[in-house]
Amino acid sequence: MDISKEIEKRQVEIESVINNYMPKEEGLQKTIFSGMNYSINAGGKRIRPMLMQETYKLFSGSGRIIEPFMASLEMIHTYSLVHDDMPCVDNDDMRRGKPTTHVAYGETMALFVGDGLLNLAFETIASGMDYIDVNNPSEVMAYKKASQYISKCAGSFGMLAGQVVDKESEDKKNISLDTIMYLYDKKTAELLKAAMVVGAILANASDKEIDIIERVAYNTGIAFQIQDDILDITSSEEELGKPIGSDERNNKSTYVAYKGLEESEKEVKRLTREALSLLSQLNKKNEFLEKLLEYMIHRTK
């Protein structure tokens, strides 16, 4: 399997799904719509909605209920990047090889764009009611459970908690490894858990299967973030599509700074093996999903 080509095929489909929910650039407030579309279409392989879709398929999910959740997750992810890049947070001028939203639209509008994407995400989730049988208790329960899960992962008990700890840890010495792992779990792994667990929930996976999927996503998220830290040291701006060395510039404590490059690379491999081992316990097969997880963790950009 050529994983890059397979990702590209699915990416085209996912782009279409996402854009179905994006606003037209019209009205007196059209600038915010322009910024939202600019940010959502600034690149990226749509890994999170792809993970959601493939996990849904893993449990034999069918139907369009997955689509608004896929689109909403990418909106949540993109809003977080817009706000992360702003001068008051990471102060990055490039993202995926293009000017960040605050550079293209100004700081105030970038703030509004992020807010707009987050609100649109939950409007989009609400539209998922159109794809369920409201007289079917199991469909209603799955929709409710999935909505609650993605909301928790995005909020102050999830991704936002990681962002808070990340920001407050800047310029502090002797940050514990436990704190670093907490912020990796919350800032990065939470949205991967949202992707895979929501896919499993909407496909009516059992509680045991959902628990396994959540652990797979956790391992993948931690490995993904450690790999991101490694690339921030070893990659180039051309390869990464954004400035390198931002962790050091922002005085951030990282797993790599704590453990060193060699040990960090070993941990990425260990987490990958464990994630794939957990996935195999399900006795279900989705070859592309397995390859996608490996691709994400061992990426070079």
Whether residue 127 has pLDDT greater than 70: yes
pLDDT at 234: 85
- Residue-wise pLDDT for 195-218, tens only, equals 999 999 999 999 999 999 999 999
Kindly state the average pLDDT of the residues 131-143.
97
CATH number of 3-297: 1.10.600.10
Whether residue 246 has pLDDT greater than 60: no
Instruction: Tell me the C-alpha distance between 46 and 85, whole Å.
Output: 19
pLDDT at 43: 87
Instruction: Tell me the C-alpha distance between 214 and 207, whole Å.
Output: 10
- Strands 98-99 and 94-95, by their bridges, are antiparallel
The full set of domain ranges for the chain reads 3-297
Whether residue 233 has pLDDT greater than 70: yes
Tokens of residue 139, six digits: 């469909």
Lowest-pLDDT range, 110-114, 150-154, 243-247, 250-254? 243-247
Whether residue 99 has pLDDT greater than 90: yes
pLDDT at 274: 97
Residue 176: how many CA atoms within 13 Å on its side-chain side? 3
- Residue-wise pLDDT for 52-96, tens only, equals 999 999 999 999 999 999 999 999 999 999 999 999 999 999 998
pLDDT at 299: 78
Q: In angstroms, how far is the first alpha carbon of the chain from the final one?
A: 20
- Overall residue count recorded for the chain in this entry: 301
Q: What's the CA angle centered on 49, arms 43 and 53, to 5 degrees?
A: 140
**Whole-number percent of the chain with pLDDT over 90:** 84
